[in-house]
Amino acid sequence: MVMAEVPPRHSHRGTPRRDPLTFESPGGITGGCPGVDVGEPTQHDVTIRSRVLAPGSGAMRQSRCSHTEVVGPMKVLVTGATGYLGRAVAQRLSTAGHTVAGLVRDDLGIRTLARSGIDPVLGDLGDPSSLRAAAEDVDAVVETASADNAASVVALLEIIAGTGRRFIRTSGTGIYTDMAGGEPSATVHTEDDGYTPIPEVGSRYHSDLLTLAAADAGDHTVVMRPSMVYGYGGSEQLPVLLRAALRDGVSRYTGRGLNRYGNVYLDDVAEAYLLALERAPAGSAYNLAAGECEMRQIAADVARLLGLDGAVSISMEEAAQALGPRSAVSMASNSRVDSARARTELGWSAQGPSLVDDLTRGSYRRVWALREPAIVTEKVRA
Ligand SMILES: NC(=O)c1ccc[n+]([C@@H]2O[C@H](COP(=O)([O-])OP(=O)(O)OC[C@H]3O[C@@H](n4cnc5c(N)ncnc54)[C@H](OP(=O)(O)O)[C@@H]3O)[C@@H](O)[C@H]2O)c1
């Protein structure tokens, strides 16, 4: 793969389509969810709502330490707004008073956003002219469609360059995966680590560096690194494990399964994006994890949820066959992160249920426990 050149930094620190109905909807414009207690509005909700002005007036105030706080609502383009992360992020920004447009690829996307309060705008990550048109009159672009589409990152950085528009890129703590084969690691990553990723995630990390380097040239760019996101019975990693276990009648972990991965609840991710949009200094990256789990425990909980006889250990090669090479890498790896920066700089505070609670007693039980193997049709990701 050809990589764009990353300018030196100074002191800063092709996604397959997914059935939109495979997870519980995170709710309508109010951010609620049937059957899931998302809690009372927080102090932050109240603060944000109280300073809603006219949409698009997005005035910004620069404070001492280059912390830029938005004092009015912005017009925001969210890519991936029909997806798991993007829909939650778009809804949270909208609930907070921002005017949100969602990039959609087709009529299905338009229909998916109907009645959500998010305006659909046609476009495709692979078509820079459609991205340019979609981002024409916005104050910010929040990219949640793909962490791995290097070309769209380059295109979006070009589009926002020198315009004052903010750009938030979605990466992931997958950049820290270590291919430990199920062995534990004591390493907990901060965003400041001088870091060399494994080749499998090199392109993703490179896009992070490109995004952060744009801040050195004066653009307001930010990188978000959610860990294993869960909630509403959906997401990326847990459904891969659940589908494979349902299909094969066996829940698996790699090696000894003592590798640990950070995790974070979907609504807490959406809240972090809202805070980052409004408060993050240019050139910031944020790891987002509220807890972490050993993969062996997740596999055991998946087995219990589906009524299977415990979880079994498999090799990396078997994992690649069962889950696809990409998921096999994350399932065999440690990805442990420190999220102190999000808490201290953004005021982020995770509120969601723990992954184990949501998996064993919450949304995953409601969505997955009664499924039959015959209705599992999705292929493993290449
Ligand atoms: N979920 C997690 O735990 C997690 C954690 C960290 C990072 N990430 C990364 O974040 C990204 C989004 O994750 P997700 O779980 O939200 O995935 P998802 O549910 O599959 O959503 C992907 C979204 O991107 C859109 N999209 C895909 N390709 C596109 C293209 N070429 N042009 C325009 N839109 C396109 C999809 O639109 P359609 O509706 O038209 O398909 C959909 O709205 C992924 O790269 C993932 O690896 C996810």
What's the farthest any 2 CA atoms get from each other in the chain? 59
How high is the pLDDT of residue 199?
A: 95
Q: Is 262 in the pocket of ligand 1 (CB under 6 A)?
A: no
How high is the pLDDT of residue 37?
A: 28
Q: How many CB atoms lie within 10 A of CB 61?
A: 10
Query: Quick one: which atom of ligand 1 is closest to the CA of 235?
Result: 1
Q: Is 148 in the pocket of ligand 1 (CB under 6 A)?
A: yes
Q: Is 236 in the pocket of ligand 1 (CB under 6 A)?
A: yes
- Could you list the pLDDT tens digit for every one of the 382 residues in the chain? 333 444 333 333 333 333 333 456 554 322 222 222 223 333 332 222 222 333 344 444 333 235 556 658 999 999 999 999 999 999 999 999 999 999 999 999 999 998 888 999 999 999 999 999 999 999 999 999 999 999 999 999 999 999 999 999 999 999 999 999 999 999 999 999 778 999 999 999 999 999 999 999 999 999 999 999 999 999 999 999 999 999 999 999 999 999 999 999 999 999 999 999 999 999 999 999 999 999 999 999 999 999 999 999 999 999 999 999 999 999 999 999 999 999 999 999 999 999 999 999 999 999 998 776 544 444 444 3
What is the whole-number distance in angstroms between the Cα of residue 186 and the centre of ligand 1?
A: 30
Query: Quick one: which atom of ligand 1 is closest to the CA of 20?
Result: 39
**Token digits of residue 215:** 């801040």
Q: Which of 104, 236, 242, 298 to mutate to test the pocket of ligand 1 (most atoms within 8 A of CB)?
A: 236
What is the whole-number distance in angstroms between the Cα of residue 329 and the centre of ligand 1?
A: 19
Are 358 and 352 in contact by the 8 Å Cβ rule? The answer is yes
Residue nearest to atom 11 of ligand 1 (CA): 146
CA-to-CA separations, 362 to 305, 337, 368, in angstroms, rounded: 11, 25, 10
> Helices 316-323 and 237-248 meet at what angle, rounded to 10?
90
Q: Is 15 in the pocket of ligand 1 (CB under 6 A)?
A: yes
What is the whole-number distance in angstroms between the Cα of residue 361 and the centre of ligand 1?
A: 26
Are 302 and 242 in contact by the 8 Å Cβ rule? The answer is yes
**Measuring CA to CA, which residue among 267, 276, 226 is closest to residue 76?**
276
Q: Is 83 in the pocket of ligand 1 (CB under 6 A)?
A: yes
**Token digits of residue 320:** 């690649």
How high is the pLDDT of residue 304?
A: 96
How high is the pLDDT of residue 166?
A: 98
How high is the pLDDT of residue 52?
A: 30
pTM over 0.95: no
Is 380 strand, coil or helix? coil
Instruction: Give residue 306's identity as a one-letter amino acid code.
Output: L
Residue nearest to atom 13 of ligand 1 (CA): 85
CA-to-CA separations, 180 to 120, 186, 293, 381, in angstroms, rounded: 42, 12, 15, 21
- Tell me the C-alpha distance between 269 and 266, whole Å: 5
What is the whole-number distance in angstroms between the Cα of residue 10 and the centre of ligand 1?
A: 31
How high is the pLDDT of residue 31?
A: 27
User: Cβ contacts of residue 284 below 8 Å, gap of 6+?
Assistant: 12, 13, 191, 222, 223, 276, 341, 345
